[in-house]
Structure 1
């Protein structure tokens, strides 16, 4: 199975304009852009034939080509990363049996998260995405973000087979703090996806869904139109995972990079 990682990146983010080019401080004091850190994370994944950055912005293109990444230009009309991956597959002229969407704001994504998705695709899934059980620190971040009115991470709810029932930027399921003990039954949806080329093509032909629009979560389009999304359970193995959703997340990610380097 030929796997290609596509890193969709756009400059005109509503919540954080220019986010892919935001610089983070690494252990030792060096500074690198978010998109470069994500590209370097993709290079750690085993079994990948090619890594491509998909963007519509010349500033991102120039920065990525400057550190050696292959870039495919995609239309400004792409509304989300999945549409941009589909456009990149069409415009880039590369063959793939599996396309992994590693979003450009997730440099903390461990390689085994993506490798678990690739294994699920080999097992016959059409669309797959990782879910990570919340540890107390991550759960507290989720709850605090919602308390402060910030858009934080995404949670996933899935059935006994592992097929997604729903994704939300709310913390689901709701938990009574007085009864919270032991393992936390909240699953952090990791914003990485794997698709077959047919699933990508089908997505692009579907109209935007009502829940997708309300939540701002692209994967809900699959669910709203009856397509299965396999939730693949992954383990952090002591690594902290968090996407860069808001400018205030930069210190969190810098701290995690420092911790992961130990």
Structure 2
């Protein structure tokens, strides 16, 4: 059982071996700019460790093979139950084992090693400056071309990304795998697009994580397949942080076919 939160920030990388689309994904190897092959979980840990102002980084997993790999490259692994349904539940299970958890916990997904460090620091700053928010998560304003790409995917029956709609105080109203909001076909390209692409990084307070784990799963969370909707269902304020779009594609490793794409991005960025 976790005790009172202490000042500081911790990054937790949830990682599971079982995956319908890509079993064993955290242990997949990716070659960087220098040709050095590192596992996905090591690259994710390195990305997390490069974020300034973070006190510790840990991997939360339910598989001893992943834990052994984390220990091999010098990281810290926290064993969590197989029953965790998503990354937020896994982070909650890890924090529950800490005697003095940090005041802010960041969930940096283990399949997105290209996430820019400034995204995480922006989330931390927002949560520290907004005492009423339970959680903060980033979004990038869609360009006209990105919006068209998302709607083209939708028309073709593909899920091309998650969008988020926020209120005037930058609090989330809804997240969806549908493209929201709807824009008329004659929306001018020189006018700011009101659609935002959500990036799957989360910063929480320990109390919000504990509450999340205690709440029953909600229907919208199930049908959309979006874990963050549980916060909205139970009335927990979610702060949306508009981040600048990075100079590279923040590609996630979801399928084996994504490996060469991510490796190309690593070479482009000079990541060893």
| TM-score normalised by L of structure 1 | 0.91
| Structure 1 residue 92 displacement after superposition | 4.2
Secondary structure of the corresponding residue to residue 102 of structure 2: coil
The alpha-carbon distance between structure 1 residues 15 and 95, as it changes in their structure 2 partners (threshold 3 A), is same
- The aligned counterpart of 1:98 is 104
Q: Distance in 1 between matches of 2:82 and 2:31?
A: 30
Q: Distance in 2 between matches of 1:253 and 1:140?
A: 23
- State yes or no: 1:126 paired with 2:134: yes
**Aligned 8 A contact 2:87 2:107 in 1:** yes
Secondary structure of the corresponding residue to residue 91 of structure 1: coil
Q: Distance in 1 between matches of 2:10 and 2:204?
A: 10
1:193 corresponds, among 168, 187, 202, to 202
- The aligned counterpart of 1:216 is 225
Q: Distance in 2 between matches of 1:207 and 1:37?
A: 33
For the pair shown, the structure with the greater C-alpha radius of gyration is 2
The alpha-carbon distance between structure 1 residues 85 and 218, as it changes in their structure 2 partners (threshold 3 A), is same
RMSD, aligned CA: 2.1
- State yes or no: 1:68 paired with 2:74: yes
Q: Distance in 2 between matches of 1:12 and 1:89?
A: 22
Q: Distance in 1 between matches of 2:86 and 2:245?
A: 26
- The aligned counterpart of 1:9 is 15
- The aligned counterpart of 2:164 is 156
- The aligned counterpart of 1:181 is 189
2:116 corresponds, among 103, 110, 113, to 110
1:211-239, CA deviations, whole angstroms, 9 ceiling, x for partnerless residues?
Answer: 10011110000011111100011113423
The alpha-carbon distance between structure 1 residues 34 and 135, as it changes in their structure 2 partners (threshold 3 A), is farther
Q: Distance in 2 between matches of 1:55 and 1:163?
A: 30
| Structure 1 residue 64 displacement after superposition | 1.2
- The aligned counterpart of 1:257 is 266
2:180 corresponds, among 167, 172, 175, to 172
| Structure 1 residue 29 displacement after superposition | 2.5
- The aligned counterpart of 1:32 is 38
1:115-160, CA deviations, whole angstroms, 9 ceiling, x for partnerless residues?
Answer: 0111012112321001112346654654454455444422111111
**Aligned 8 A contact 2:101 2:206 in 1:** no
**Aligned 8 A contact 1:74 1:91 in 2:** no
